[in-house]
């Protein structure tokens, strides 16, 4: 099979053998990429038209009990400035987002044990009470089935937990001993079982990553069938053990967005902040390769510069209102439109709180 035939097969069947996927990735060139992106846009527009969904991201705490080797929030990073927002501050950000037109709020943080399970449930419940037309997404790490269930019952609709890498050996090279691929995977299946719309995804060009690892990620995603796949390049942070590891670029992530759109035609596919950080036009290129979600930051400007997963993160000084205007203009400049609404994955049953 040549490259064009591989892309055609991916377009028609949504799947390729491991060997062909690996070759599609390693042998890619500019011409293949353009062909892949054309096909990806066909699938994207078939299911989503030219609509781009927005998620308002509230990074509510930079404290973390974990020590992931790549992340600037890791507990051993004594140079990080830490903050956590109160329930009132989080609600104020969510309300501001609602006024700006957001109908999905993503609450993300490090694994901060100072919020009890009741606190999280109360924050979720209060947002849903105040803004019943808004979907609430949690992204607060690895928890037990009971915790996830509790927050689902409080009204949380979605959960983002990137799987990072689906190879247990590679997982071990990126994380300390106490974290395991098996537990990450258990969490994702628990979330699905409970009924959350689930987001998974891998970090591309992470240290020690091989093409076989990426193929394993794709096969894992096929098995999991998440509603969203968030992927972006690894970017080194100066105060982590991976400070001297090379950061990824935008090219591979954008190529992988094209592949993901063909393998998962209806999936929600964000053009991530990491992609926009490594390439000033990364998010537009991501949309033109099949992405259909962007996640502007709604955190208060006073804390933005403290949620630093990696060096050089963009939009740390911009007000939420400013960033939405700018993102809308950028999306329109490439022929797409930002839509207001929850932006659920197609065909999902919306979570009703009983
Ligand atoms: N604590 C939660 C968790 O573990 O899912 C959510 C916050 S965590 C900081 C969000 C994501 O940031 C991770 O899933 C990881 O993929 C990404 N991330 C962390 N450090 C990164 C880096 N140096 N470069 C790129 N992405 C990074």
List pLDDT tens digits, range 207-224. Answer: 999 999 999 999 999 999
**Structural domain count of the chain:** 1
Q: Is residue 36 part of a domain?
A: no
Mean pLDDT, the chain, integer: 96
Ligand 1 contacts CB of residue 162 (under 6 A): yes
Beta bridge partners of 61: 84, 109
> Taking 90 as the threshold, does the pLDDT of residue 323 lie above it?
no
Q: How far is CA 5 from CA 9, 15, 68, 162, 259, in A?
A: 6, 12, 39, 31, 14
CATH number, domain containing residue 91 = 3.20.20.70
Asked, for residue 180, whether it belongs to a domain, the answer is yes
* 3-state secondary structure (DSSP) of residue 205: coil
Contact of 176 with 69, CB cutoff 8 Å: yes
Look up the domain containing 169 and give its range.
48-339
Does residue 24 contact residue 7 with C-beta atoms inside 8 Å? Answer: yes
Q: Could you tell me if residue 35 is inside a domain?
A: no
Indicate the pairing of strand 56-61 with strand 158-160. unpaired
Nearest CA among 195, 169, 179 for reference residue 111? 179
| DSSP bridge partners of 229 | 200
Q: Give the separation between CA 168 and CA 131, rounded to whole angstroms.
A: 40
User: Tens digits of per-residue pLDDT, 4-42?
Assistant: 999 999 999 999 999 999 999 999 999 999 999 999 999
In a domain, 254, yes or no: yes
Cα–Cα dist 241/174, whole Å: 10
Q: Residue 191: CB within 6 Å of ligand 1?
A: no
Does the C-beta of 70 come closer than 6 Å to ligand 1? yes
Each residue of 243-282: pLDDT tens digit? 999 999 999 999 999 999 999 999 999 999 999 999 999 9
Q: Which atom of ligand 1 is nearest to the CA of 309?
A: 20
Q: Is residue 309 part of a domain?
A: yes
Ligand 1 center to residue 309 CA distance, Å?
A: 6
Is ligand 1 within 6 A of the CB of residue 206? no
Cα 90 to middle of ligand 1, angstroms: 20
Residues 6+ apart with CB under 8 A from 159: 137, 138, 139, 148, 191, 196, 197, 198, 199
Residue bearing tokens 């030219």: 50
Token pair belonging to 184: 């990450």
- Count, residues in the chain: 354
Residue 354 has pLDDT above 80, yes or no: no
141: phi > 0 → left, psi -120 to 50 → alpha, else beta; which? left
- Give the C-alpha separation, 202 to 233, whole Å: 9
The reply to whether 232 falls in a domain is yes
In short, whether 264's Cβ falls inside 6 Å of ligand 1 is no
Is 282 contained in some domain?
Answer: yes
Q: Best of 107, 295, 309, 314 to mutate for ligand 1, by most ligand atoms within 8 A of CB?
A: 309
Nearest CA owner, ligand 1 atom 4: 141
Cα 58 to ligand 1 centroid, rounded to whole Å: 14
User: Residue 134: is its pLDDT beyond 80?
Assistant: yes
Q: Is 274 in the pocket of ligand 1 (CB under 6 A)?
A: yes
């Amino acid at each position: 099979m040549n490259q064009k035939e591989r892309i055609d097969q991916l377009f028609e069947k949504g799947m390729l053998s491991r060997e062909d996927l690996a070759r599609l990735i390693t042998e890619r060139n500019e011409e293949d990429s353009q062909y892949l992106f054309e096909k990806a846009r066909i699938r994207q527009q078939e299911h989503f038209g030219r609509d781009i969904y927005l998620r308002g991201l509230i990074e509510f705490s930079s404290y973390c009990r974990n020590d992931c080797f790549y992340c600037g929030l890791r507990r051993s990073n004594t140079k990080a400035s830490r903050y956590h927002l109160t329930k009132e501050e989080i609600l104020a950000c969510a309300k501001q987002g609602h006024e700006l037109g957001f109908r999905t709020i993503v609450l993300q943080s490090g694994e901060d044990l100072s919020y009890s399970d009741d606190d999280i449930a109360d924050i979720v419940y209060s947002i849903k009470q105040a803004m019943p037309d808004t979907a609430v997404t949690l992204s607060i790490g690895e928890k037990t089935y009971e915790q996830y269930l509790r927050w689902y019952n409080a009204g949380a609709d979605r959960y983002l937990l990137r799987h990072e890498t689906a190879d247990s050996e590679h997982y071990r090279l990126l994380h300390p001993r106490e974290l395991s691929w098996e537990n990450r995977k258990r969490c994702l299946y628990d979330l699905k079982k409970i009924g959350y719309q689930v987001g998974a995804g891998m970090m591309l060009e992470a240290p020690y990553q091989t093409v076989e690892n990426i193929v394993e990620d794709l096969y894992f995603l096929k098995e999991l069938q998440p509603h969203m796949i968030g992927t972006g390049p690894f970017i080194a942070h100066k105060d982590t053990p991976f400070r001297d590891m090379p950061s990824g670029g935008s090219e591979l992530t954008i190529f992988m967005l094209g592949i993901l759109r063909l393998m998962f035609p209806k999936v929600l596919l964000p053009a991530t902040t990491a992609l926009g950080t490594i390439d000033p036009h990364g998010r537009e290129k991501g949309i033109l390769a099949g992405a259909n979600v962007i996640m502007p930051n709604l955190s208060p400007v006073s804390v933005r510069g403290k949620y630093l997963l990696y060096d050089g993160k963009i939009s740390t000084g911009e007000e939420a209102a400013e960033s939405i205007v700018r993102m809308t203009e950028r999306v329109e400049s490439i022929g797409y439109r930002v839509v207001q609404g929850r932006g659920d994955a197609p065909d999902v049953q919306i979570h009703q709180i009983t």
